[in-house]
Amino acid sequence: DDAPPPTQLSASDRAFLTSLVIFSDAHVIALNKPAGLAVQGGSKTTRHVDGMLDALSEDGERPRLAHRLDRDTSGILLLGRTPAATAKLAKAFQSHAARKTYWAITVGVPKPAKGHIKGFLKKAMVDGKGGDRELMVAAKHGEDGASHARTTYAVVATAGQRAAWVALRPETGRTHQLRVHMAMLGTAIAGDRKYVCDRETPGGLKAQLHLHARAISLPHPSGKGTLDLEVPLPDHMQHAYATLGFDARDYADPFEVG
């Protein structure tokens, strides 16, 4: 068991984490993670979801992370209440039984408007402003550290050629996968400082990553039925939708057709 030892949580952190809960039963807890909050600790990261999970303990059982989201990505994060439930959730992600739908705003409009992006990615140190930093880059099959990555995407709406509302369905779970794939199309996700393109970001958008884990559907770890969840857009993306003329109520699942 890799759960960290119990920590003394402040009352404000307890209240904060509890406020993120959007669903809870005997097996699963779902959080709506805000952008900017890390899921796990690392260098220079002391405040993160994993470090606050004692706030959601019941009967001495500390919930566990079933998957991850980037620090700057908002949206649904699932926790297992027990080791067995966590294992079943993790298996659903690994076996592609979990269907995750992300919403993003891209700089420019991806072409074609619907398709698959696939290939190999690996971590590499890349020269950048302010020195080297670790990024995910395209790789060849068989290269050291290369993992296959596949994303299905569909343009939902456009603001001229300036920006698009894109629905994304990752079929693998590689680090930064959706961000890398959109940048590879030449239409990076708005507000992404790591994976960029040579297009100009439309004016009026907040300087935050416009990527949101909107919905998830997977077999319930109890073995009964399906867990279907969705969460509303965060404030900075609601602002972007209003600025660009998009309306979340207009969404029709583009992956269910054909």
For residue 44, count other CB atoms closer than 10 A to its CB: 6
Partners of residue 138 on adjacent β-strands: 121
Residue 132 known to be catalytic: no
Strand 74-80 to 28-33 pairing: antiparallel
- Report which residue type is found at 105: I
For residue 2, count other CB atoms closer than 10 A to its CB: 6
Residue environment code for 174-187, b if the CB has 16+ CB neighbours within 10 A, otherwise e:
bbbbbbbbbbbbeb
Q: Which residues contact 10 (CB under 8 A, 6 or more apart)?
A: none
Catalytically annotated residue among 50, 54, 70, 72: 70
- The alpha carbon of residue 100 and the mean position of all alpha carbons in its chain are separated, in whole angstroms, by 9
- In degrees, rounded to 5, the angle at the alpha carbon of residue 147 between the alpha carbons of residues 257 and 226 is 40
- Asked whether the beta carbons of 227 and 220 are under 8 A apart, the reply is yes
Partners of residue 101 on adjacent β-strands: 215
Rounded Cα distance, 31 and 29, in Å: 7
DSSP assigned state of 94: H
Q: In this structure, what token pair is assigned to residue 155?
A: 């343009």
Active site residues: 70
